[in-house]
Amino acid sequence: MKTTELKVLIVEDEMIFARQLESWLKRKVAQVFISTNSENGSFHISQERPDIIFLDNQLPGINGIDVIEFYKEKAPDSVLVLMSSVFTLEEISQALKNGADYVLNKKNEKESGLNSILQASVRSKATGSPFWKLMEFIAPEKSNSSKEIVILEDEEMFSFQLSMALNNLPSQKKHTIYRFSHTSEFEQHCKKNGLPEVLFLDYSLEDGTGLDALKYLNKQSKDCKTIVISSTIDVDMALTLNLEGVSEFIVKDENWQESIRECAANLRL
């Protein structure tokens, strides 16, 4: 399948935005449908079986986040993108739990981000891999305020959730985000592109190379800010890793979104 064969449904009551998105999509995909409420959206899903559904979170009488499960039951093979002008990290987490494949910030999403959604949808259908494994978080333009961020994490769904959280920070800044699951991939990336400005590192990688990533960074430069993420972090581990140059620690618990928000504020992300 090519992007020009995709069918797309937009469920959005803000018609100026809906028409702008429709106009852009018509140059890329086969068909575009617009619904202004959740009920009409359900009708189009039943009739057209769209490949991608762009669902607004603020619809008349209901939040989009509350119809995600219903839409995904009707069209389990569709990629569902929840849209909003403002997302909290908790909403992002809940949207993913309900079955959304991606969340899109209407204020700062650019053409490159929309193109990534189309490309990931096509690749997902071609390979059978989940959409979230294929979605790339690449900033459309490098500005003085944007940073290159690498996530080195082998729990892929958490890596994806963290990417979306960083992509929807209150600052509205667009950062370039790369995701890797092995230290060898991270080192190859650094050799080709240079060191990132920020690294979110799962110290407890299954292949046991979390410490290797820190040692590699220390040989190269101290300029990369490293944040360790782990299910458990004890005092001895924290002291040891701090000596290795770790800036902050985040525990993967029910409050990790708040920890990310505080960490991002400290790093001025």
Q: Using 50, 70 and 90 to split pLDDT, how confident is the model at 74? A: very high
pLDDT of residue 222: 63
233: in domain: yes
Query: Between residues 156 and 70, which one has the greater pLDDT?
Result: 70
Tell whether 9 and 123 lie within a shared domain.
Answer: yes
pLDDT of residue 28: 93
95: in domain: yes
Q: Using 50, 70 and 90 to split pLDDT, how confident is the model at 247? A: confident
Tell whether 178 and 75 lie within a shared domain.
Answer: no
Query: Between residues 260 and 109, which one has the greater pLDDT?
Result: 260
Q: For the full predicted model, state whether its pTM sits above 0.85.
A: no
Alpha-carbon distance 190 to 242, whole Å? 22
Average pLDDT for 148-171: 87
Tell whether 182 and 261 lie within a shared domain.
Answer: yes
The CA radius of gyration of the chain, in Å to the nearest whole number, is 19
pLDDT of residue 85: 84
143: in domain: no
Number of H helices, E strands in the chain: 11, 12
pLDDT of residue 255: 81
pLDDT of residue 106: 85
pLDDT of residue 75 exceeding 90, the answer is: yes
Average pLDDT for 31-53: 94
Identify the CATH number of the domain in which residue 108 sits: 3.40.50.2300
Average pLDDT for 30-50: 94
Tell whether 107 and 163 lie within a shared domain.
Answer: no
Q: How far apart are the first and last CA of the chain?
A: 37
